[in-house]
């Protein structure tokens, strides 16, 4: 078995590592090299879960501040080349930690970088700071949209990734940063619950925050919290093998 994980700071290691970039400006993602990134990848829950599952490989493609759009982009970037190279992807289990539906991303052609945006900040993947124009765009975006709009987009994103996994026989388990999906309709929630594999069988009950007792000051998982998340996910996967 091989493990693929994606999500936001709750999977990446927010507060355990204080910045998305190292001192040289390198983005601390799945491809980064260096002692700090190696440490981050060794103490976050995907590594603990892969050890519990006796996985031969573990790939943590999460990023703090990342959006659900980024989760789709990086997950497709990982699997689609393998599919076209005739690699067997059915031995993967993908554990996806969905994030706040209001987050988004866009490609800045001048900076040649994806920009990750949420209510209080914009972060470029290729550098530590962003420009004033990005903050004006962010302000306009959040002014004109609302929870109903974001949750409807989120519904489509879950469908896209969930059916991609099913089409290619990739085992999956979904969780979420928080379970505030009240702006989704009842039929949307029922359809998601009925068609995809959720921790505790429900998008409303699968909150990753609830899997950890030990947290940091900003509510991110602590080192112990990441182990607690891995234990809970492992116990659920082990109890629902069939």
**pTM of this prediction?**
0.94
Contact 58, 50 (CB under 8 A): yes
| pLDDT per residue as tens digits for the range 199-216 | 999 999 999 999 988 887
The closest alpha carbon to 200, from 171, 153, 235, belongs to: 235
Angstrom distances, CA of residue 52 to CA of 84, 115, 224, 230: 30, 35, 15, 8
Which CATH architecture describes the domain 2-101+147-239? 3-Layer(aba) Sandwich (3.40)
**What is the strand order of the sheet 113-118 is part of?**
104-108, 113-118, 121-124
The strands making up 57-60's β-sheet, listed across from edge to edge, are 57-60, 2-6, 92-98, 171-176
- Residue 140 structure tokens: 């306009």
26 CB-contact burial (10 Å; exposed 0-12 / middle 13-18 / buried 19+) = middle
pLDDT at 126 over 90: no
pLDDT confidence band for 123 (50 / 70 / 90): confident
Q: What is the mean pLDDT of residues 164-173?
A: 98
Helices 223-239 and 45-52 sit at what angle, rounded to 10 degrees? 40
Give CA–CA dist 29/20, Å, rounded: 8
- Give pLDDT, residue 220: 93
pLDDT tens digits, residue range 34-93? 999 999 999 999 999 999 999 999 999 999 999 999 999 999 999 999 999 999 999 999
Domain boundaries, the chain: 2-101+147-239, 103-144
Predicted pLDDT at 29: 94
Would you state the pLDDT for residue 112?
A: 86
Q: What would the mean pLDDT of 218-223 be, rounded to a whole number?
A: 90
Task: Copy the structure tokens of residue 242.
Answer: 């069939």
Task: Kindly report the average pLDDT of the chain as a whole number.
Answer: 91
DSSP 23-69: TT--B-STT--SHHHHHHHHHSHHHHHHHHTT-SEEEE---TT--HH
90-116 tens-digit pLDDT:
999 999 999 999 998 988 888 888 988
pLDDT at 138: 65
């Amino acid at each position: 078995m091989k493990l693929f994980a994606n999500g936001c700071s709750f999977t990446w290691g927010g507060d355990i590592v204080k910045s998305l970039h190292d001192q040289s400006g390198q983005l601390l993602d799945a491809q980064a090299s260096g002692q700090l990134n190696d440490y981050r990848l060794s103490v976050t829950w995907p590594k603990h879960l892969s050890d519990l599952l006796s996985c031969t490989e573990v790939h943590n493609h999460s990023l703090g501040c990342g959006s659900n759009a980024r989760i789709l982009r990086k997950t497709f970037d990982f699997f689609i080349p393998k599919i076209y190279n005739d690699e067997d992807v059915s031995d993967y289990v993908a554990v996806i930690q969905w994030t706040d539906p209001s987050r988004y991303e866009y490609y800045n052609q001048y900076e040649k970088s994806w920009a990750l945006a949420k209510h209080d900040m914009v972060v470029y993947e290729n550098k530590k700071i962003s420009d004033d124009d990005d903050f004006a765009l962010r302000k306009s975006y959040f002014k004109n949209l609302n929870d109903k709009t974001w949750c409807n987009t989120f519904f489509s994103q879950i469908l896209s990734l969930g059916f991609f996994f099913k089409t290619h026989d990739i085992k999956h388990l979904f969780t979420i940063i928080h379970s505030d999906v009240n702006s989704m309709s009842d039929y949307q929630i029922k359809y998601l619950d009925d068609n995809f594999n959720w921790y505790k069988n429900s998008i409303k009950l699968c909150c990753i925050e609830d899997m950890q007792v030990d947290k940091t000051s900003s509510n991110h998982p602590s080192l112990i919290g990441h182990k607690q998340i891995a234990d809970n996910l492992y116990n659920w996967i082990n109890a629902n093998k069939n």
